[in-house]
Amino acid sequence: MRAVITLLLGLLLSPGPREQGERGTGTSSPGIAEETPQTAETCAACHEEQVTGTAAGPHGLAMKRSSESLFQNSCVACHGNAAAHLESPAKENIRRVPGVAACVSCHAASGNVSLSSPAHARGQVACLSCHASGHKKPGSTPLLIAGSHDLCGSCHMEQKSATLLPYAHRDGRRPFECKNCHSVHGKGRQGRLLDARNGGACIDCHTDLAGPFVFPHAPRETGGACVTCHVPHGSTNPRMLTRRSISSLCLECHTSLGSSHDQTKPRYRNCTTCHIAIHGSNHDPKLFDE
Ligand code: HEC
Ligand code: HEC
Ligand code: HEC
Ligand code: HEC
Ligand code: HEC
Ligand code: HEC
Ligand code: HEC
Ligand code: HEC
Ligand code: HEC
Ligand code: HEC
């Protein structure tokens, strides 16, 4: 909390966006700027809608839980020094949309909000690509423009539409939220995707497949884990498999089964009728039985 306030004071004392160099807060310029505190209360005289909207919403309430003064100072924390604007109110002399630095001036102190996907940082996906300002009721929690399915899907259309395929979780109806499997903040470089390499995001729910098994099926234990054989978002193949038929999936790796598995005989084509414990077995090395 102390760190938040210190940072905030730093912001207040630094020159505003349009007045760098010329008119720091130290110079005695005429008008009201010197004396008028740059608080929400001051702004409310002309921007009542934004002030009351913020105060009643989750962001304002969260700030007020920290302290009333944090809330009072929040307008300029996001919009920058408003001295020039208070002196001569116009939209040209104040920043409308805050940059990442404004958010981080408070949030770096209160938790880990770094982006777990470097691709988002590289792709210029900023805080406000996903989060709302808090002036109006946000689309979803926590302070999100929309629920993650629509929010993430607005940029990742391919993945969103895959979750609506008939061979997807819940048969494509009421799909899981993207954030069931992905985390945007924290939890490692790629969020829970990294865990997924070991089955992580999947075995949170499919706990029965978590193992360890006495006789694991090797691909379960290495590199790609679940996504070696399954498409995570949805597929045109049953069981969300990467291949249309199970045998072609198996034969991709098991290329030399020999005469014991005569593939001209239909009986041998349906691999999982015999190798039932395809994810690993505690009883049988050939995966006949779980
Ligand atoms: C005396 C009235 C007055 C006060 C006090 C005032 N503003 Fe404004 N503000 C305006 C006017 C007028 C505009 C321009 C509105 C327009 O052109 O649509 C404006 C526009 C803005 C904009 C939008 C800029 C844009 O590019 O669209 C922001 C952000 C803003 N004010 C923030 C603040 C903040 C923060 C405070 C308090 C520190 C504040 N204002 C205090 C009158 C005021
Ligand atoms: C978390 C950052 C943040 C805080 C805090 C914040 N604003 Fe804003 N404000 C924005 C963003 C972003 C916009 C652009 C429109 C939007 O997304 O709502 C905006 C837009 C505005 C506008 C332009 C009108 C509009 O709705 O587009 C005004 C005026 C304004 N803010 C005033 C204020 C005042 C007064 C406060 C203090 C209660 C404040 N803002 C606090 C982020 C913030
Ligand atoms: C004046 C300080 C301040 C600024 C600036 C600020 N925040 Fe916050 N915000 C807080 C506080 C305090 C909380 C509540 C504690 C927490 O979650 O860290 C909060 C909470 C949040 C939450 C969680 C809300 C919930 O419902 O749980 C989100 C999301 C958020 N802020 C995003 C942003 C974004 C994005 C920006 C920049 C556009 C921003 N904040 C700018 C102080 C600030
Ligand atoms: C790609 C979209 C996206 C971007 C970009 C993003 N966030 Fe978030 N943020 C989320 C989602 C989704 C959640 C909810 C996480 C959850 O529920 O697992 C969240 C949660 C939060 C929270 C709530 C507290 C917490 O850690 O759970 C805060 C605060 C926050 N974000 C701040 C920020 C700030 C500051 C930035 C910019 C540095 C930012 N976010 C950028 C999507 C995003
Ligand atoms: C404003 C657009 C935008 C939004 C909203 C957005 N993303 Fe992204 N995302 C990108 C861009 C751009 C990239 C990097 C380019 C690419 O690989 O497509 C990316 C990359 C990714 C990656 C690949 C990660 C990597 O490091 O390779 C994942 C996973 C991802 N996003 C998940 C999400 C999730 C989950 C959400 C919602 C919480 C979300 N995105 C919201 C634009 C967005
Ligand atoms: C059931 C878990 C799950 C859900 C739900 C989920 N994802 Fe994924 N997603 C994954 C896994 C696992 C990967 C890694 C795939 C790989 O490594 O081959 C991934 C990869 C991605 C990537 C990287 C590119 C790619 O396709 O490999 C993006 C972008 C992405 N997901 C976006 C989304 C979006 C947007 C949503 C919501 C509409 C979503 N995901 C829902 C598990 C999920
Ligand atoms: C949020 C919990 C959850 C997560 C995370 C999850 N699943 Fe599922 N999964 C389920 C549930 C519940 C079902 C059963 C029915 C349904 O909803 O489709 C299921 C069913 C399945 C099915 C069978 C579909 C069918 O046609 O019978 C496959 C395959 C599957 N999941 C693979 C995965 C993979 C791979 C991952 C990780 C990328 C994953 N799941 C992550 C909850 C989850
Ligand atoms: C070697 C390939 C392969 C790997 C790796 C794999 N699966 Fe499967 N999975 C299959 C096949 C094949 C089926 C279909 C079995 C059938 O229908 O007879 C299946 C079926 C499923 C089902 C449907 C219910 C069931 O048990 O039959 C779920 C759920 C599932 N897999 C989840 C997962 C999860 C979670 C992981 C990672 C921990 C994973 N799978 C890894 C090949 C694989
Ligand atoms: C990504 C490659 C891959 C895929 C796909 C795959 N497997 Fe395997 N499987 C392996 C590897 C590697 C081993 C370990 C081989 C060894 O130890 O000699 C193995 C082991 C086995 C074993 C035990 C063999 C033994 O000698 O104990 C059986 C049975 C088996 N797989 C059946 C299947 C079936 C059925 C499928 C299709 C559902 C399948 N596999 C898909 C790579 C794969
Ligand atoms: C009718 C039951 C049956 C079906 C169907 C079947 N297998 Fe087998 N599989 C066996 C038996 C029995 C063994 C043990 C053979 C032995 O020990 O000589 C075996 C052994 C294996 C082995 C261990 C290596 C080896 O050659 O001994 C692999 C790998 C394997 N099967 C993969 C597959 C694949 C892939 C499919 C589908 C294309 C499949 N099986 C279909 C019964 C079956």
DSSP code at position 177: P
The model's pTM: 0.91
Domain count, the chain: 3
Q: Do 106 and 122 have their domain in common?
A: no
**So what's the pLDDT on residue 11?**
41
Q: Which tokens is 106 given?
A: 């408070």
Q: Which residue has the higher pLDDT, 144 or 228?
A: 144
284 assigned to some structural domain: no
Phi/psi at 235 (5° precision): -150, 165
Mean pLDDT on 98-124: 81
Q: Which residue has the higher pLDDT, 220 or 200?
A: 200
Q: Do 48 and 70 have their domain in common?
A: yes
**So what's the pLDDT on residue 120?**
85
Give the range among 88-92, 211-215, 229-233 with minimum mean pLDDT.
211-215
pLDDT at 237 over 70: yes
pLDDT at 47 over 90: yes
C-alpha dist (Å) from residue 268 to 125, 216, 217, 262? 50, 22, 19, 6
Percent of the chain clearing pLDDT 70 (strictly above):
79
282 assigned to some structural domain: no
DSSP code at position 264: T
Q: Do 134 and 210 have their domain in common?
A: no
Q: Whose CA is nearest to atom 29 of ligand 6?
A: 156
**So what's the pLDDT on residue 197?**
52
**Ligand 1 atom at minimal distance to the Cα of residue 78:** 35
Q: Which residue has the higher pLDDT, 99 or 27?
A: 99
Distance CA 32, CA 88 (A): 9
Cα of 219 vs centre of ligand 9, distance in Å, is 7
Which numbered ligand comes closest to the C-alpha of 198? 8
Give the range among 180-194, 241-255, 262-276 with minimum mean pLDDT.
180-194
Q: Do 63 and 124 have their domain in common?
A: no
Task: Tell me, using a 6 A CB cutoff, whether residue 268 lines ligand 7.
Answer: no
Query: Ligand 2 pocket check: which of 59, 78, 104 to mutate, most ligand atoms within 8 Å of Cβ?
Result: 78
**Cβ < 6 Å from ligand 6: which residues?**
149, 152-153, 156, 159-160, 163, 176, 178, 180-182, 193, 196, 201, 227, 232-233
Q: Which tokens is 169 given?
A: 């979780």
Q: Whose CA is nearest to atom 24 of ligand 10?
A: 257
Which numbered ligand comes closest to the C-alpha of 268? 10
Which numbered ligand comes closest to the C-alpha of 276? 8
Which numbered ligand comes closest to the C-alpha of 119? 5
Cα of 240 vs centre of ligand 2, distance in Å, is 44
**So what's the pLDDT on residue 111?**
65
**So what's the pLDDT on residue 191?**
60
Please identify, among 92, 110, 128, the residue that sits at the C-terminal boundary of a domain: 110
DSSP code at position 286: T
**So what's the pLDDT on residue 158?**
97
**So what's the pLDDT on residue 143?**
96
pLDDT band at residue 186 under the 50/70/90 scheme = low
Neighbours of 52 (CB within 10 A): 14
Which residue range(s) make up the domain with 226? 192-274
> Which amino acid is located at 136 in the chain?
K
pLDDT band at residue 207 under the 50/70/90 scheme = confident
